[in-house]
Every structure is written in C-alpha cells, then in structure tokens.
Chain A
C-alpha cells in the first residue's frame, strides 16, 4: 500500500462547477496535510494546509480532514480554466529523528469551458 494515495485522473469538471479531489494516507500518526498545485512544466506551489479535523476554507478552496478515516480532500468551488493543473496531496510523517513530507502521485484536473 502506498503511503499517500490519490486518483490519478484526469478529472474533468465543467467551468463553474465544484471539483472534488480526494486523498488517503496510511500513517495514523500524521499531523499535517497539504495540497499543492502544479502547472505543467512548473514546480509545486502550496494552496492549502490543514492540521485538525474538519473543514478549512480559503477563498474558493476548502480542505477537509478526517483523521479517523485517514482521508483528506480538496474542494474547488466555481472552477475556472486557470484551475486546470495537477493537484498533489502531501502528508507530513514524523519519525524518530525528523519529519518528512510524502506526496501522492497527483490528480490531474481539467476544467472544460
């Protein structure tokens, strides 16, 4: 089982609709969760972080975390063509000497006009 799993997509969503991206993780001790957006040929950029159960909203983006079920999701409301990108879920896993981020393989999102 991979440590962080995402559906690779592509996920196609009409402009103006809600895009829903999901991620599951294996380490029950993980405390920090992130969503990064990556445009083709570019480096990842952080769009959301979440540390406690529930919802966290930032503009059109909402991150949802359920530690009991070990999943984290990202909702994008009023989807725009500029949202077309690959979205990477990342989980901070704490080990004895340090913590490290493990990324999922990414979900490719396409917003169609």
Chain B
C-alpha cells in the first residue's frame, strides 16, 4: 500500500498561473483533507471532504477550489496563483470525519507539495 500519494512534489509558478495538486489514497478512507503549512503557522485546513460527493471549507479556503473526484482522489486547484500561496501543501485522509463518525479521525499524510509562486 502506498498510503497517501501527492503529486507533484515541487512546483514553481508565476503569479496568475493556475495548477492542480493531485492526491490519492489507497486506504479506503472516507475523509480527505488539504492543509497548507507556513513557517510558524502549523497546519491550516484549506478544504476537506467528509465523504465522497461532499466538500466543505476549512480555515483558509480563499483562492482555492477542490474536487472529490471519487473515494480515492481529492484535488486542490489554484485558479490564479498569488505569492501569498507560496507554501507547503499536505493532503491527508482519515477513517473518520463524517457525521457521527468523527470521534477518532486519525489522519495519514502525504509527503507534501512544495509550491513557490513568483
């Protein structure tokens, strides 16, 4: 099992360009998450999907869109990249997170995508 796989690992964009970060998990988890991590800020939740077909905003959703393509895949799109979106992006999945099932919600992380926007 690969766990949680993110692509790409590194990306450099120019301001205004768009791109999609891909995430896939093979653990049959219902819930998937996108975080960004900036120095001294910990992990901040961008969007999450408690189950296939649903998505919800997290703490910092502005400038991003997501798609839960199927149970395995959850993508994050930057429509018009800005320098403030320079960060490390982590995808995670968990076996909890849905209504009434969130008591544990242990998260498993991908290796991260290091994004620079110039």
- A residues within 8 Å of B by Cβ? 6, 8, 31-32, 34, 42-46, 49, 51, 88, 90, 92, 94, 96-106
Decide if B33 touches A98 in the complex (CB within 8 Å): no
Report the minimum CB–CB distance from A18 to chain B (whole Å). 24
Q: Which residues of B contact A92 (CB under 8 A)?
A: 96, 102-105
Binds A, one of B18-26, B62-70, B78-86, B106-114: B106-114
Known interface pairs A43-B109, A43-B111, A100-B58. Does A105 touch B104 (Cβ–Cβ under 8 Å)? no
Decide if B42 touches A43 in the complex (CB within 8 Å): no
Decide if A103 touches B98 in the complex (CB within 8 Å): no
Report the minimum CB–CB distance from A110 to chain B (whole Å). 16
Decide if A43 touches B104 in the complex (CB within 8 Å): no
Complex Cα–Cα for A70 and B102 (A): 19
CB closest chain-A residue, reference B42: A105
CB of B2 within 8 Å of the partner chain? no
